[in-house]
Structure 1
């Protein structure tokens, strides 16, 4: 197992359990205790966990994995969701994409849609996510508009008043949100308040709003509000959503697409 794969597995376990000891982690990953101690020390140096005697705990009360360590989580579901979201986009539209693993998959799905391979541009993509802009900028069928702002390393998103300035001057046909949590009562939310503020402005500037979220994020709350459930037109999720949750969203006026 490579170091990156081992770190990803360790952080996944830590998020799930909140605390890990060295021997437990070594057994789970099939490596030596000495290797786990080194991994814990190096991850602690990057402030991705807090070292304790004999183990480690999550860093802070509200823990958020950096984007590069989230990519393997529910990857199959995210790819199905992304393809379904891409089908909701009409050639010629202006599309806003927030940062996140699911919206990154949406960008990739848009890039491979045959109907969008022609024309210049076939789509205008507005994003505050540096990784999404980087992937799409080389494709001539897309006009890429990147907001200004300060880069947030956990999500590769640009945040702050510079991003506000760009978004306040444009309108979009659809905004696609990647969220940490989406609940009928509490709405869509993110972990970071500055990130949520940019996502909120994207919603306000779009004619319709699509939330792309796997079922593990539904019925949950997070620190920073993005928008109310009533402001969302469509939720695209996986088939893990239960009928009761589907009914609650539909009663709130949200069209639910489960794939």
Structure 2
């Protein structure tokens, strides 16, 4: 197992068990105690866990490497608005639509005032905006709110999306890489988004070009699990490679 995949697996295990010892992790992942200790040191330096005597516990600073929401919201504003406008055109009346949290997905809401649809979201800002539209039915999940920000995560959120049969899921992403797939800075993002895409007929990723070609800490899925990418620009060769994998690429202009 490669180091980054092993560290992700170790982190998932620690968060599931709430605490894990070096001996336990060594046996679980079939690596030496020296390797486990090195992994724990690196994870602690990233703010993902806290080492204790003989092992590690989850960190309260799991959001440490996340870009603050207000900074995300001020980045590539025009590009995100164009992406949101194009995404909204793909929605038809009577559909059930999942809209993931995020500064780009938030832009979709501005173009849905005339749509008669059901929207299920884990974003407080999106729900608040859509609730003002008379033809809209809005469902917001329970869970805990990640601060600073407007996203909702946790088992209650996961359970709602697990049982939501959606026509379309609009997904945000921290990084999009044709080889590494979709990835995120925040571990709990993956747990919720896995449930979002599970029962959606169509998965559409909204992604400004600054996120393409990069990779983040926690992987959600490979690109063959998505149907469409909407972005502001993409190199023709890369666009062709995505399309060869069955992923349609739409450029918002």
Same fold (TM over 0.5): yes
SS state at 2:75 partner: coil
Count of matched residue pairs: 192
Gaps of 5+ in 2: 1-60
Q: Distance in 1 between matches of 2:112 and 2:118?
A: 11
Give the Å deviation of 1:153: 1.3
Q: Is the 8 Å Cα contact of residues 126 and 145 (structure 1) preserved in structure 2?
A: yes
Alignment-derived partner of residue 85 in structure 1: 87
Q: Does 1:177 align with 2:156?
A: no
Q: Distance in 2 between matches of 1:127 and 1:60?
A: 22
Q: Does 1:66 align with 2:71?
A: no
Alignment-derived partner of residue 128 in structure 2: 134
SS state at 2:205 partner: strand
Q: Does 1:245 align with 2:238?
A: yes
Alignment-derived partner of residue 98 in structure 1: 100
Alignment-derived partner of residue 200 in structure 1: 194
Q: TM-score w.r.t. structure 1 length?
A: 0.70
Q: Is the 8 Å Cα contact of residues 66 and 153 (structure 1) preserved in structure 2?
A: no
How has the CA–CA distance of structure 1 residues 60 and 133 changed in structure 2, closer, same or farther, with 3 Å as cutoff? closer
Q: Is the 8 Å Cα contact of residues 84 and 108 (structure 2) preserved in structure 1?
A: yes
Give the Å deviation of 1:154: 3.5
Q: Distance in 2 between matches of 1:245 and 1:186?
A: 14
Q: Distance in 2 between matches of 1:109 and 1:225?
A: 30
Q: Distance in 2 between matches of 1:258 and 1:97?
A: 19
Q: Distance in 1 between matches of 2:227 and 2:220?
A: 14
Q: Is the 8 Å Cα contact of residues 184 and 252 (structure 1) preserved in structure 2?
A: no
Which segment is superposed worse, 161-170 or 227-236? 161-170
Q: Is the 8 Å Cα contact of residues 81 and 238 (structure 1) preserved in structure 2?
A: yes
How has the CA–CA distance of structure 1 residues 62 and 247 changed in structure 2, closer, same or farther, with 3 Å as cutoff? farther
Q: Distance in 2 between matches of 1:245 and 1:123?
A: 34
Q: Is the 8 Å Cα contact of residues 162 and 198 (structure 2) preserved in structure 1?
A: no
Q: TM-score w.r.t. structure 2 length?
A: 0.72
Alignment-derived partner of residue 226 in structure 2: 232
Alignment-derived partner of residue 5 in structure 2: none
Give the Å deviation of 1:61: 11
Runs of 4+ in 1 over 6 A off after TM superposition: 59-62
Q: Is the 8 Å Cα contact of residues 99 and 155 (structure 1) preserved in structure 2?
A: no
Q: 2:78 aligns with which of 53, 76, 81?
A: 76
RMSD over aligned Cα, in angstroms?
1.8
SS state at 2:104 partner: helix
Q: 1:110 aligns with which of 104, 109, 112?
A: 112
How has the CA–CA distance of structure 1 residues 253 and 163 changed in structure 2, closer, same or farther, with 3 Å as cutoff? same
Gaps of 5+ in 1: 1-58, 117-121
Q: Does 1:256 align with 2:238?
A: no
Q: Is the 8 Å Cα contact of residues 157 and 195 (structure 1) preserved in structure 2?
A: no
Q: Distance in 1 between matches of 2:241 and 2:209?
A: 14
SS state at 1:106 partner: helix
Q: Is the 8 Å Cα contact of residues 172 and 205 (structure 1) preserved in structure 2?
A: yes
Q: Is the 8 Å Cα contact of residues 149 and 162 (structure 1) preserved in structure 2?
A: yes
Give the Å deviation of 1:218: 0.8
